Amino acid sequence: MNRIDRRQALALALGAGFLQNATTGAAADALSGASSLIPLNYNENPLGPGPKAREAIIAATRESWRYADGEHLQRLIAAIATHERVTPEQVAVGSGSGELLHILALGWAARGSVTCAWPTYGQLMGFAEKMGATVRRVPLDAELRHDANAIDAATPTGTSLVYLCNPNNPTGTVLPASELGDLCLTLAQRTTVVIDEAYMDFVESGATASMVHLTRGGADIVVLRTFSKVHGLAGLRVGYAIGRPDTIARIRSLELVSPNMPGVLAATASLADQIFVERSRNSVITDRRRVTAVCRELGMRCSDSYGNFVFVRTGMPATDFRDRMRELGIEVGRLFAPLTDWSRISLGRPEDNTALIAALRTLKRGGVIGRVVSISSAVRA
């Protein structure tokens, strides 16, 4: 089948009547130079910045002759500290949490060692390896969650750092708060524990919880958060770390990139826009349930994802699945070895998710997906 573009994918999915409503979005895409495929591959938030952040971005055009690392940054740090109920000395802001992951790799793990679950979000480990670190990758358990006991056992004294991602990317799975808290406190007696909570805002209450409270007690734990997900500001590059004042001072001293004015102003405004944050969160939770239900109905195994994405076993090589989805106008995530026949599919706008469901049904009708296979055999693969 020839590739089709984004509007055609939506029309295919929903019938021609939908096309009129989709036109505005398509025109905006043309102006912005966006790809013709529906981008469900990078766990972005297609709602984009909320109303208050948009106003702040416009205001930032006036302010952008100034460096942002003075009073503007201090205001953002103060707002984050209030939001997280910590002191400003416990907050470091980075150009995305990606910068903070690089700082931790450079300042803590270079020529040292890191323990992490696998597969997980690999940015810190990839950079640490380039800096000469050894990485111990501990397989996820049969439910594709972090294996707390195995991680503990794989972390000898002298380990430079442990990286835990909760919810985990790419599986979206979580450890319950009490189990994760125990693991963090045990490990923090031996090493620095980094907990990446990029997707925490999408967790339904009770499934897990942030570990920020542990940093107030003085444990050697760093929590990372980002404005790229629930706040819809991925392109503006703002994230933050919460930790002990001494750890945070060291992170700040290793700053790689100074913060940018639109990002700092938009993040400060977005933090105060809880109506938008709730909308963003509800949109993800509603469609995560909708898409997961359809995947299961079509015979595909799904991990218990609490992120703004689903992780599904397609029963075919992830690269082939990605190609078939591209033919249907949708870009899904890359391959995550060793789970070679699973695919991470980000949630888009409701209409994007409707198009996704239609594409999955098309593949099912063609007999391409839906063979029932067990999760544990995937983990062993």
Ligand X SMILES: Cc1ncc(COP(=O)(O)O)c(C=O)c1O
Q: Rounded distance, CA 120 to CA 56, Å?
A: 34
What is the closest distance, in whole angstroms, from the C-beta atom of residue 199 to ligand X in the complex? 7
Tokens (6 digits) for 357: 């469901």
Do β-strands 301-302 and 309-313 pair in parallel, antiparallel, or remain unpaired? Answer: antiparallel
Q: Rounded distance, CA 306 to CA 207, Å?
A: 9
- Residue from 196, 287, 331, 352 touching ligand X (CB under 6 A): that is 196
Closest CB to ligand X among residues 196, 287: 196
Closest CB to ligand X among residues 68, 198: 198
Stretch that binds ligand X, among 51-59, 75-83, 94-102, 126-134 (CB under 6 A): 94-102
SS (H, E, C) 256-312: CCCCCHHHHHHHHHHHCCHHHHHHHHHHHHHHHHHHHHHHHHCCCEECCCCCCEEEE
**Residue in this structure with the two tokens 């029309």, named with its chain if needed:** 11
What is the closest distance, in whole angstroms, from the C-beta atom of residue 66 to ligand X in the complex? 23
Residue of 110, 117, 100 whose CA lies nearest to 243: 100
What is the closest distance, in whole angstroms, from the C-beta atom of residue 369 to ligand X in the complex? 25
Q: Rounded distance, CA 174 to CA 139, Å?
A: 15
Q: What is the DSSP letter of 374?
A: -
Q: Label residues 301-323 b or e (16+ Cβ within 10 Å = b).
A: bbbebbbbbbbbbbbbebeebbe
What is the closest distance, in whole angstroms, from the C-beta atom of residue 353 to ligand X in the complex? 19
- Our finding on whether 228 is near ligand X (CB under 6 A) is yes
Within 10 A of 331 (CB to CB), how many other CB atoms are there?
18
Which string of x and - marks every residue 251-280 that binds ligand X (by CB under 6 A)?
------------------------------
Stretch that binds ligand X, among 66-74, 95-103, 143-151, 333-341 (CB under 6 A): 95-103
Closest CB to ligand X among residues 56, 103: 103
- Our finding on whether 331 is near ligand X (CB under 6 A) is no
- Segment 233 to 252, residues that bind ligand X, using CB under 6 A: 234, 239
Q: How many residues bind ligand X (CB under 6 A)?
A: 13
What is the closest distance, in whole angstroms, from the C-beta atom of residue 311 to ligand X in the complex? 12
What is the closest distance, in whole angstroms, from the C-beta atom of residue 106 to ligand X in the complex? 15
Closest CB to ligand X among residues 108, 358: 108
What is the closest distance, in whole angstroms, from the C-beta atom of residue 214 to ligand X in the complex? 19
Closest CB to ligand X among residues 223, 357: 223
Answer yes or no: are the C-beta atoms of 300 and 364 closer than 8 Å: no
- Residue from 53, 165, 223, 328 touching ligand X (CB under 6 A): that is 165
What is the closest distance, in whole angstroms, from the C-beta atom of residue 77 to ligand X in the complex? 16
What is the closest distance, in whole angstroms, from the C-beta atom of residue 121 to ligand X in the complex? 4
Which bin fits 304, alpha (ψ -120 to 50), beta or left (φ > 0)? beta
- Our finding on whether 121 is near ligand X (CB under 6 A) is yes
Closest CB to ligand X among residues 226, 268: 226
Identity of the residue numbered 257: V
Q: Which residues contact 280 (CB under 8 A, 6 or more apart)?
A: 45, 47, 50, 201, 230, 231, 232
Stretch that binds ligand X, among 92-100, 132-140, 143-151, 205-213 (CB under 6 A): 92-100
Closest CB to ligand X among residues 232, 239: 239
- Residue from 46, 49, 98, 122 touching ligand X (CB under 6 A): that is 98
Stretch that binds ligand X, among 21-29, 93-101, 252-260, 334-342 (CB under 6 A): 93-101
Q: Which residues contact 38 (CB under 8 A, 6 or more apart)?
A: 6, 9, 10, 329, 330, 331, 348, 352, 355, 356
- Residue from 4, 183, 198, 211 touching ligand X (CB under 6 A): that is 198
Answer yes or no: are the C-beta atoms of 125 and 106 closer than 8 Å: no
Answer yes or no: are the C-beta atoms of 173 and 167 closer than 8 Å: yes
Q: Label residues 143-172 b or e (16+ Cβ within 10 Å = b).
A: ebbbbbeebbebbeeebbbbbbbbbbbbbb
Which residues sit at the interface with ligand X, rule CB under 6 A? 43, 96-98, 121, 165, 169, 196, 198, 226, 228, 234, 239
